[in-house]
Structure 1
Amino acid sequence: MKPGFWYRKSFFQAHNLTVPTTYAEFKSLLVTISKIKGIRTPIVSGDSVGWPLSDVTEHFIATYGGASMHRALTNGTKRWTDTDVRAVFADRLVPLLAGGCFSEPLEGNTGALANWWGGLHALYFMGSWITGLVDNATDLGVFSLPPPTGTTTGIVFGGDYFFVPKYTTHQTEALILLKYLASKDGQTIQVKQGGHIATALGVPLSDYPTVDRGVAQLMNGVVILSDLDDTIGGTFQTNFWSQLQLLWVSPNQLDSVLAAIQAKMPAS
């Protein structure tokens, strides 16, 4: 699951910071963080081949364009150069990039993670598996972008898929096992291990570790979405990643970036 911006609770407590409930409060939080001694930028930009820059971008789309825009871009019924899509970038993401709120793209699991955990940045957009990448997961907090009034927002969730080869000698037994793993009882065991969010209905929140419980609660009232670039795949995905890397360092090239992204959309 890609829930939002992670922060260290100890950092927020030390600097009297609070989780924003409106976009104005989010921008104000970034300004406040930028003035803290030792901070390089409020948000660290984790990267590798272009994600999780793509995950951050999808979160802005799913929040300020809504779940319907995210789905329409995924299935190709909306263009990246459409006025309302451009507005999400131009009004929300690009001003933050141009204003120095994000760092330059840094390798995710080494540079970005270490710099954020070490206090050089306060926020890091990453998936829920981050709980297994830090020394003390109990110090983790997370929040999604504050939703606008009147918009049905979404959040990206990556479900797991099982495959049983036809040539296995124990196909029946394998299917029984996988059916159990996908059940409420199987998923309850999984979430207790930490770092997982149940895909089965009925798994009680009380069975989640504290930090994962907070992640699961972020799904309340939002539409669950599939990852946009993973779903489209192909040359679109690699181009999407590279164009976002360009946008991160040259936000004034928004229009050419959106046009280049649209150019690689598969024919619908």
Structure 2
Amino acid sequence: MGDNNTHVSRRGALRGMGGSIVVLTGLGSVGGASAQDAITVTAVWTDDEEEDFLAVVEHAEDETGLEITYAPRDTETLLTETLMDYEVGVAPADIVVMPTEGRVRRDGEAGHLEPLGDLWDEDEYSTEHNVVAANGEAYAAPFGMDLKPGFWYRQSFFDEHDLEEPEDYDEFLDLVAEIDGISGVEAPLASGNGDGWPLSDVTEAFILRQDDGHELQQDLIEGDAEFTDDRVVTAFEELQDLLADGYFSEVRDFGIQYEFFWENETPLYFMGSWTPTFGAIEDPDDLDYFMLPGTEAMVSSINWVTVPAYVADPDAARDAVEAIVSPDGQQVWTERGGFVPSSLEVSDDAFDTEVMQDLSEHADEVELVPDLDDALGDPFQAEFWSQLLGLWAEPEQDVESIVEALDGVLQETVDD
């Protein structure tokens, strides 16, 4: 663990992180683009985020002269079909963006990826080569950072009902109870879902709010702590109590849940830095957030850009990657909102809303820790998501059984 007890700014935020997952199925250019004026890219960004990434793609086209086509996929497709393609020597696309670093390391070690460490100087980014390294090579380049700061809310809703951000956990419980009594509120806390994500994000917040929570999270990732740790049990019990009291809403797709959030039907939504740009958010200037009381750390993760080893022209793909992850490429999305660059050369002035600039500055003031399930990857990630979906569906189940099951898969994942 070493320096985990010291303050970590964004510059050193993701040094030494470990991770897991994603990406997907062939896009018709098996083996990549032809020699070589067209490049295919795949990632998980859809709807408003897709529009923002397409602006980055346009920048990369202008810089390289390449024609770049983007095809989004959902997370489940990325997870399963990419691995299937790699195992038979097929490139799902010329460029694959993976939200988690553990999968990058595994794919790199298996020979599925091109080394990309020479495309970026680790002194100019908020991470290091070893995060995505195997066999002495770095197999990805860093793009945007996702910060997961806490519960988002509308300032207008808090003003209307004379609500205040909680200073401690008792005040948080009082706030949740007060919101629960407001007319028109379905439940105080939104339950966003994909396949168990982002229920995992709010769960990690409850782990982080325990004693030395940021160290506990890092220890879990590195296999130096057990998931049956009393602090993990307490985190699950706190969630269980909130679920039993009806304070969490119906589980909905995380994007759809934004609509209920904006209508103040689920007024507190534990979500990430992408929040201000979602279509349902009509006025980003009305947004604010607070960290779960007791937490002294914020989760951060990076979207990693990779090139499969099976593309026809890796040099053209590398040119496109370099343009995408460059400071200018990252600034394009930063200026559109909801994006935190991993490039340290993008100025804070590039943020389009005050809340995003505040969030970036806040991240420099707190401990930043890796995303637990992203850092570990499968089989832990899949089991974590499954167990959380089960807990939300049946809150009365035995928490000890949940953490024992997860501890077994945690040890399997770490030992792999």
- Structure 1 length normalisation: TM-score? 0.86
Distance in 2 (CA, whole Å) between partners of 1:70 and 1:226 is 8
Contact 2:307 2:314 in 1 (8 A): no
CA RMSD in angstroms comes to 2.4
**Which deviates more from structure 2 when the two are superposed, residues 196-205 or residues 117-126?**
196-205
Contact 1:142 1:214 in 2 (8 A): no
Distance apart, 1:175 and its partner CA: 4.9
Give the AA of the match of 2:225.
K
- Is 1:14 matched up with 2:160? yes
Assess, with a 3 A threshold, how the Cα gap between structure 1 residues 243 and 219 changes in structure 2: closer, same or farther.
same
Distance in 2 (CA, whole Å) between partners of 1:259 and 1:209 is 45
Contact 1:159 1:199 in 2 (8 A): yes
Instruction: Find the residue that maps to 1:49 and give its secondary structure.
Output: coil
**Which deviates more from structure 2 when the two are superposed, residues 234-243 or residues 184-193?**
184-193
- Is 1:161 matched up with 2:339? no
Question: Where do 1:1-268 residues align within 5 Å?
Answer: 1=146, 2-65=148-211, 66-90=213-237, 92-110=238-256, 112-133=257-278, 134-136=280-282, 137-147=284-294, 153-164=296-307, 169=313, 171=315, 175=318, 178-179=321-322, 181-210=324-353, 211-252=355-396, 253-265=398-410, 266=412, 267-268=414-415
What CA deviation, in whole Å up to 9, does each residue of 1:197-230 have, x standing for no partner?
A: 0212253333212232232233133222222112
List structure 1 runs of 4+ shifted beyond 6 angstroms.
Answer: none
Distance in 2 (CA, whole Å) between partners of 1:181 and 1:256 is 45
Give the AA of the match of 2:231.
D
Assess, with a 3 A threshold, how the Cα gap between structure 1 residues 50 and 20 changes in structure 2: closer, same or farther.
same
Give the AA of the match of 1:6.
W
Distance apart, 1:250 and its partner CA: 3.1
Question: Which one has a bigger Cα radius of gyration?
Answer: 2
Distance in 1 (CA, whole Å) between partners of 2:382 and 2:320 is 36
Gapped runs of 5+ residues in structure 1? Answer: none
Distance in 2 (CA, whole Å) between partners of 1:234 and 1:259 is 17
Instruction: Find the residue that maps to 2:404 and give its secondary structure.
Output: helix
Contact 2:330 2:343 in 1 (8 A): yes
Which of the pair is proportionally richer in helix? 1
Distance in 2 (CA, whole Å) between partners of 1:63 and 1:181 is 36
Instruction: Find the residue that maps to 2:368 and give its secondary structure.
Output: strand
What CA deviation, in whole Å up to 9, does each residue of 1:29-86 have, x standing for no partner?
A: 1121111111121111111321111111112212325211111112222111122321
Contact 1:144 1:218 in 2 (8 A): no
Give the AA of the match of 2:347.
P
Distance apart, 1:121 and its partner CA: 1.5
User: Paired residues, what number?
Assistant: 261
Distance in 1 (CA, whole Å) between partners of 2:167 and 2:392 is 25
